A and B are shown apart, each in its own frame.
Chain A
Amino acid sequence: MRKLTFLFLVIAILSIAAPVYAQGGTTAAPTFNWAIPIGAGIGMGLASGLAGMGQGRVAAAVAESIARNPGARAGIQLALFIGLAFIESLVLFAFVLIFLRTA
């Protein structure tokens, strides 16, 4: 029984990485432009780093305001989620652009 449990656990761990199944055959680009990966790295780094700074300020303000007025937690959290979503979506625009250029 223990062996069977172990076997199922291993199978579950191996098969749980579902996105692997979505991998099709990849075709190599005809010419390799070295500037694209470098630009992608710089762009993604800038986008996510600056968004991290922005989201850090949001989180700090939210922590402070909940500490001052714990009763307003629900409304503050709603504003937190909306604000974070808008900041994050800019990073995701950068990600999509980079993916369109590199893939």
Chain B
Amino acid sequence: MPEQLWFTELLNRYFGGAANSLLNAVHQPAAYPNAPINNFVAIEILVVGLLFVFFVLVRSQLSVESPGGLQHMMEGIYGFIDNQSHEIIEHDYKRFTPYLVALGLFILLGNLIGLIPGFVSPTATPTVPLGFAVCTFIYYHFHGLRKHKHHYIKQFLGPVWLMAPLMFVIEVVSHFARVLSLTVRLYANIFAGDMVTLAFFSLIPIGVPIIFLLLHLGVSLVQTFIFVVLATVYLAGAVGDEH
């Protein structure tokens, strides 16, 4: 049985039975029936909880006359992503900002929580970034379909009618490759950051690994930004008028 963090133990003690029966119901029994919830999923649930509390806190303190620190911070983040989607998507961009902000904050907190001793980054496992990528995939195709209705398929067929069957296959493959590349980019960056810290920790166990934790901090921020920008670019491609 793998090592468990305190939060994983807590979850497994109270929800282990439920998780086991859920996994058995879909015929994927857990590798360790004593601890069906692994560290990554547990910390992901913790991140969701923290974000939920944070949003409730911000919502309860919103005011027009005397905005507090939290409100300023959230307005800053929201404004940044709003500006950026305005630049990339151009018109009718307002409706996408909430999704992009939520995605960005989730990824950011998931990346950064691994820097705190006693936690792991949930994004350092392939399944969690896969979740983000699949959500983004469904989201932008949904909005493409909503905007263009049945004309959405023209985006997959290319300009030349004769080439359409070939183009369709290539486009479908490239859209699925987006999911793969989004997943692997986030996962491998965070995982490689952990590995580098670990390698230098085994060489010089004091002082030096901090440099790589700083690097990890930078990588976390940049990867969050990249993920959100790419989601915005894909959205812009799906709802744009170019076809």
Contacts and interface: CB of A to CB of B under 8 A. Distances in A.
Nearest to A92: B188
B117 interface: yes
B118 A81 contact: no
B192 interface: yes
A89 B198 contact: no
Nearest to A85: B226
Contacts of B114: 18-19
A14 B206 contact: yes
A82 B230 contact: yes
Interface string B45-60: 0000000000000000
Chain A binding site: helix, strand, loop or mixed by DSSP? helix
Nearest to B196: A19
A15 B117 contact: yes
Contacts of A20: 198, 201
A53 interface: no
A81 to B, nearest CB: 6
Interface string A12-27: 0111111111111000
Given A13-B207, A92-B188, A18 B117 contact: yes
Contact of B192 (A17, A24, A92): A92
A24 to B, nearest CB: 5
A81 B185 contact: no
B179 interface: no
Given A13-B207, A19-B198, A81 B213 contact: no
Interface residues of B, number: 39
Contacts, number: 85
Contacts of B205: 14, 17
B184 A93 contact: yes
Nearest to A15: B117
Contacts of A92: 184-185, 188-189, 192
Please indicate which of the listed interface residues A17, A24, A88 has the most CB atoms of chain B within 10 Å of its own CB: A17
Contacts of A13: 206-207, 210
A93 B181 CA distance: 8
B183 to A, nearest CB: 10
B87 A78 contact: yes
Contacts of A89: 181, 184-185, 188
Interface in A73-91: 74-75, 78, 81-82, 85-86, 88-89
B39 to A, nearest CB: 7
Nearest to B202: A20
B115 interface: yes
A95 B188 CA distance: 8
A7 interface: no
B118 A82 contact: no
Nearest to B222: A81
Given A19-B194, A20-B201, A82 B117 contact: no
- Nearest first, the 7 closest Cβ-Cβ pairs linking A and B are A92-B188, A19-B194, A85-B226, A89-B185, A15-B117, A17-B201, A19-B198
21 contacts: A13-B206, A17-B205, A17-B209, A18-B114, A18-B119, A19-B195, A19-B198, A20-B201, A22-B3, A23-B3, A23-B198, A75-B87, A78-B84, A78-B87, A78-B229, A82-B229, A85-B226, A85-B230, A88-B189, A89-B185, A93-B184
